[in-house]
A and B are shown apart, each in its own frame.
Chain A
Amino acid sequence: AQTVTQSQPEMSVQEAETVTLSCTYDTSESDYYLFWYKQPPSRQMILVIRQEAYKQQNATENRFSVNFQKAAKSFSLKISDSQLGDAAMYFCAHNQGGSEKLVFGKGTKLTVNP
């Protein structure tokens, strides 16, 4: 069975600083996708970033980047120059190649301190 583990239930960061959220996953497949979604207090699920497993290059979206370690099955999210609006729950998700369903971790609550 697929599992996604987020080992940090809560994290905090000072505004303008950098924070890294951890995620590990388990799969026997070689082709799959990984995602980070953000859920602010409104509870809307917002895509932050996506990584294809066959790509060695780490995905980047503005202040958000990932450290994808395929052999270690690790997919961490780095947020640079943190802003107050980044405060939210962050969910790591995994989509096994050929499967339609996303498997989510339990989330990390990020607090940004002014």
Chain B
Amino acid sequence: NAGVMQNPRHLVRRRGQEARLRCSPMKGHSHVYWYRQLPEEGLKFMVYLQKENIIDESGMPKERFSAEFPKEGPSILRIQQVVRGDSAAYFCASSPLFASQETQYFGPGTRLLVL
């Protein structure tokens, strides 16, 4: 059973460009979570999605950030007009269907560097 997949693993963008981060959950998992880790910090929750629905986006910045989890395909975290402060590691996690308090399994993360 393949784990959570994220791509790209490393992404470099210049200020003002767009960043798209992809996450494929583990097989059989339909709950996806995105977290951000700034240098020397723990992970901070951003958004929780189920297929075609955003359930909790209380950790998402109000502007420039959006997330989706379509019926088909991976979950996408999109950052428009990136700024240097967006440089961080972005982790995706997934958990099983009908198991809202199950363990979240993490992907390897995407390291975003904004020049």
Contacts and interface: CB of A to CB of B under 8 A. Distances in A.
Contacts of A42: 108
A37 interface: yes
Interface residues of B, number: 26
B82 interface: no
Interface stretch (A64-72, A75-83, A96-104): A96-104
Contact of A101 (B41, B45, B111): B45
Nearest to A109: B40
B87 to A, nearest CB: 14
A39 to B, nearest CB: 9
What band does the interface of chain A fall in when counting residues whose beta carbon is under 8 Å from B? 20 to 34
B69 interface: no
B109 A44 contact: yes
Interface of B is mostly: strand
B106 A44 contact: yes
A45 B42 contact: no
A100 B50 CA distance: 11
A44 B42 contact: no
B105 to A, nearest CB: 7
Contact of A107 (B42, B104, B111): B42
A45 B55 contact: no
Contact of B48 (A44, A47, A50, A100): A100
A45 B108 CA distance: 7
12 contacts: A4-B42, A43-B108, A45-B106, A91-B43, A97-B101, A100-B56, A101-B45, A101-B58, A102-B45, A104-B43, A107-B41, A107-B42
Interface of B: 31, 33, 35, 40-45, 48, 55-56, 58-59, 89, 91, 93, 100-101, 103-106, 108-109, 111
